C-alpha cells in the first residue's frame, strides 16, 4: 500500500506518466488468467483518489452531487458520496480500470478525456436498455430485470463478443 501511495504521489507530481504501472502489460501471450496483483494495485489507486476527493468535499458528502461537484450532468440528485462510491466500486471495477482511465486526477470536472464522455453515453444507453427495452419483454423471471456496466464489461474495457477466451486485441 505504501508503495502505491508513493507511486500515486509521483504521478501527481508529474514524475511518472499517468497510469503507467496501473495498466496491465499488453497481453502478448493472451493469458486469460486475471492479474490479481495489478488488479489490487488498481483498486488501491482508486481508493487513494476517492479518499482525496472525499477529503476535499468533507462536510458536504450528503448534499446533491450536482451542487457539490462542478460538472455533473447525469448523476444528479444523488448524494455526493454516492457518486464517489459509484466511481470507486461501480465504474472502476466494472471496466477494470483506475480513475485515470476517464479523468485527469484533480481535474475531475474536466470533460477533456473522451473516455469520460463515452461513459456518460454508456449511462444513457444502459438506462434505455433497462427502462425501454427490458421492460417490454414479457415472461422474464426476475422481479426487476436489469443490466449494468458489469453485465457487459465484466472487468474489461472492451466487452467480449464471443465465448472464446480473451484474445490479444
Q: How far is the CB of 24 from ligand HEC (least distance, A)?
A: 14
DSSP lists the bridge partners of residue 64 as: 79
Among 60, 126, 134, 166, binds ligand HEC (CB under 6 A): 126
Of 10 and 43, nearer to ligand HEC (C-beta) is 43
Candidates 65, 135, 62, 149; CA nearest to 101 is 149
Instruction: Out of 70, 133, 135, 154, name the contact with ligand HEC by CB under 6 A.
Output: 70
Q: How far apart are CA 113 and CA 124, in angstroms?
A: 18
Instruction: Verify binding: residue 53, ligand HEC, rule CB under 6 A.
Output: yes
Contact status: 151 vs ligand HEC (CB under 6 A): yes
Give the position of cell 502489460.
Answer: 25
Q: Determine which residue in the list 115, 134, 156, 166 makes contact with ligand HEC, applying CB under 6 A.
A: 115
Q: Which of 4, 11, 22, 95 binds ligand HEC (CB under 6 A)?
A: 95
Of residues 13 through 42, those in contact with ligand HEC by CB under 6 A are: none
User: For the window 72-91, what string marks contact with ligand HEC as x by the rule CB under 6 A?
Assistant: xxxx-----------xx--x
Applying CB under 6 A, among 61, 109, 112, 131 the residue interacting with ligand HEC is 109
Rounded CA Rg of the chain: 18
Query: In sequence order, what E strands does 41-157 have?
Result: none
Residue for cell digits 494495485? 41
Among candidate residues 158, 130, 127, 156, the one with its CA nearest the CA of residue 145:
130
Q: What is the rounded distance in angstroms from the CA atom of residue 90 to the CA atom of residue 83? A: 10
* DSSP annotation of 88: I
- Tell me, rounded to whole angstroms, the distance of Cα 10 from its chain centroid: 22
Q: Which residues bind ligand HEC (CB under 6 A)?
A: 46, 49-50, 53, 69-75, 87-88, 91-92, 95, 97, 99, 101-103, 108-109, 115-116, 118-120, 122-123, 126, 147, 149, 151-153, 157-159
Amino acid at each position: 500500500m505504501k508503495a502505491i501511495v508513493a507511486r500515486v504521489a509521483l504521478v501527481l507530481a508529474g514524475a511518472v506518466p499517468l497510469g503507467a504501472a496501473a495498466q496491465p502489460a499488453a497481453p502478448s501471450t493472451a493469458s486469460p488468467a486475471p492479474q490479481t496483483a495489478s488488479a489490487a494495485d488498481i483498486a488501491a489507486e482508486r481508493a487513494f483518489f476517492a479518499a482525496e476527493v472525499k477529503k476535499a468535499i468533507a462536510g458536504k458528502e450528503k448534499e446533491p452531487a450536482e451542487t457539490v461537484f462542478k460538472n455533473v450532468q447525469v448523476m444528479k440528485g444523488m448524494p455526493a458520496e454516492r457518486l464517489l462510491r459509484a466511481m470507486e466500486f461501480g465504474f472502476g471495477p466494472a471496466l477494470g480500470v483506475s480513475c485515470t482511465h476517464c479523468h485527469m486526477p484533480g481535474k475531475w470536472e474536466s470533460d477533456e478525456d473522451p473516455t469520460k464522455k463515452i461513459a456518460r453515453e454508456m449511462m444513457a444507453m444502459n438506462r434505455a436498455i433497462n427502462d425501454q427495452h427490458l421492460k417490454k419483454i414479457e415472461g422474464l423471471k426476475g422481479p426487476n430485470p436489469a443490466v449494468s456496466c458489469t453485465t457487459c464489461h465484466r472487468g474489461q474495457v472492451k466487452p467480449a463478443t464471443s465465448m472464446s477466451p480473451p484474445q490479444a486485441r
